[in-house]
Amino acid sequence: MKKAGNRITPHRTGLRRSVGFLGSGLYVPDRVVTNAELARTLDTSDEWITARTGIRERRFLDDGLATSDMCLPAAREALRRTGIEAEDLDAIIVTTSTPDQPLPSTAVTVKDGLGASRAIPLDIAQTACAGGIYALLVAAHLLQGEMFERVLVIGADTGSRATDPTDRGTRVFFGDAAGAVVLGPVPAGFGVQSWDFGDELCFDVAIPAGGSRRPTTPETAEAGDHFVRMNGPSAWKYATEYLPASIQQTLDRAGLAVGDVDYFLLHQANLNIITHAMDALGVSMDRAPTTVERFGNTAAASLFTVLHETLLAEPETGRLLVLAGIGAGVLWGSICFRHYAIPGGLVKGEAE
C-alpha cells in the first residue's frame, strides 16, 4: 500500500506579519520550438503531443547562455514593476534544478549581476517543479524577521539541457524560462492566508547520475543517465491526487471555500493534469489561467509564468489566488494569497 506521505501542517497562517506580492517579472527565450520541429527527429507528431500534454510550443535557450542569463532580465522586470532598486533587496532566493554549474551558487551569480550588494543569496535546489511553491514559503518566513523587508524570489530552469534530445517521453514536455516576484509586507488581512505542503520519497521522476551515489563517468554520460527520466503514469497519479487535495487543505485552513477563489494558478506541467485537478475541485477552467500551451513545462519557473500574466491582467486589490505545485521527490504544496496591489504598481494591460 502506498504511503500517505508526510504533511507540514501550519496554523491558519503561522505568520505574525502579512506578506504579499509587490511586483513580478518574466523572461522566456526568443527561440520558439514547435511540436512539428520536434516531430522531425522524434517518433511523435503535433497531434500526439497536443492531445497528451496540451503543449503546442516551448522556448529553448540559445547555446552559450545559462540559467542565470534568464534570471537577470526576469528579476530586473520584477524590480522595475515594484519600484525598487536591486540594492534595496534583503535576500535573493533562486530555485532551479538546472544551475549554471554545480558551484558556485546561481543565487550569488544573480546577486552579482544585479548589483544587490546587501542581499543574502539562497539557492533552493532539488525541488524540481515544486521549487516555486517552496521558495515562496521560505521567502514568507524570512520576511517575519526584522532584517528583511524585500525578498526577490526567482524560479528558473533550462529544461532543454536536462532532457535527452532522443527521448520522446521527456523532450516534448520541457521548455526554458525564468520568473521572478518581489515579496514584502502588505496590510493586515492581505498576502498569505494559509498553506499546505507534503512529500513522499519516490524515484519515478529522477536524474540517476551526477551525484555522490553515481558520480559522473564516461559510462553514465554514454548511457544518458544525466538526463531526466520520468515515469509518466506515476507522475500523472501523484499530480492528480495530491494537487487538488492540497488546494482543498489550504482553503480549509483559511476558512475559505473553492467558490471564494478568483484564480487557481497551478504548476504548468500538462494541460490535462490542470483540467483534471479543476474538475476534481468543481472549478471551471476560466478560473485556471494557463501558459503551458505556449511555454511547456518550465519546472521551477512554471508557477511564475502564470502568476506574472495573471497579475498583469488582473492586478486589483482583493483578488484571491491559490498557487499549487508538485515536483520530483515527490514534493508538493499550495499557498493561498489575497492580493494587495501596491500604489503605482502593476497596471492592467501594461505594455512590456
> Which class for 311: exposed (0-12), middle (13-18), buried (19 or more C-beta within 10 A)?
buried
Largest CA distance in the chain: 57
Give the number of other Cβ atoms within 10 Å of residue 87's Cβ.
11
Residue with cell 483559511: 254
Which of 38, 41, 80, 42 is CA-nearest to residue 59? Answer: 38
Active site residue 267: yes
Q: Are 312 and 341 in contact (CB under 8 A)?
A: no
C-alpha grid cell for residue 349?
Answer: 494591460
Q: Are 250 and 195 in contact (CB under 8 A)?
A: yes
C-alpha grid cell for residue 262?
Answer: 478568483
Q: Give Rg (Cα) of the chain.
A: 19
Whole-Å CA distances, 44 to 40, 47, 52, 168:
8, 8, 11, 7
Catalytic residue among 202, 267, 270, 336: 267
Catalytic residue among 35, 270, 297, 308: 297
Phi and psi torsions of 302, nearest 5°: -55, -55
Catalytic residue among 71, 129, 202, 336: 129
Q: Are 6 and 135 in contact (CB under 8 A)?
A: no
What residues pair up with 335 in beta bridges, in sequence order?
195, 323
Which of 10, 5, 13, 7 is CA-nearest to residue 336? Answer: 13
Active site residue 129: yes
Residue with cell 487538488: 244
- The alpha carbon dihedral of 249, 253, 259, 263 has a sign of negative
Q: 292 preceded by cis ω (within 30°)?
A: no
Q: Distance (Å, rounded) from C-alpha 96 to C-alpha 54?
A: 24
Residues with catalytic roles: 129, 267, 297
